[in-house]
Amino acid sequence: MSRILLDTSGYSGFLRGNVSIRRSLQEADEIVVNPVILGELKAGFLRGKSRRRNEDELAHFLASPRVTVAGMDEGTSDRYAAILDGLRRAGTPIPTNDLWIAATAMQHGLRVVTTDAHFLRVPQILVEQWGPAPG
């Protein structure tokens, strides 16, 4: 069974037609996002010119029976702390929101689908990193 966590950049890449991300989504049995990802997307919609269309596309995406929203709890915070500590010791920090995304992936055994290479610095998770779609 293929289970992935689609991060914010991965969702954007999907909408922009990134073929590799689209293939990952098609092959996945379960696609997961978390509240941090949803918050990042919704904050972007507020700044954009196509807010209503973007909100409608996200609602349609979330309505798929293969898409779930992972909860975050004390277990997530324990993993966040472990990832942050390891990255600090290595001198390779990543953005705070991405730490929460990585912690969610670690907690639920999910492979992160993203265009952000900094997830590759997190040894506790599996990452499918794809470049942005051309143009």
Q: For 3-33, how does the pLDDT look when each residue is reduced to its tens digit (9 = 90+)? A: 999 999 999 999 999 999 999 999 999 999 9
What pLDDT score was predicted for residue 131?
78
What pLDDT score was predicted for residue 132?
63
Q: Specify whether the CB–CB gap between 10 and 21 falls below 8 A.
A: yes
The confidence band for 135, taking pLDDT boundaries of 50, 70 and 90, is very low
Which residue ranges form the domains of the chain, and what is each CATH number?
3-129 (3.40.50.1010)
Please state whether the predicted TM-score (pTM) of the whole model is above 0.75: yes
Q: What single string gives the DSSP state of each residue in 34-76? A: -HHHHHHHHHHHHHSS-HHHHHHHHHHHHTSTTEEE----HHH
Token duo for residue 87? 């990255």
Distance from the Cα of residue 82 to its chain's centroid? 19
Distance from the Cα of residue 93 to its chain's centroid? 17
Q: Specify whether the CB–CB gap between 126 and 113 falls below 8 A.
A: no
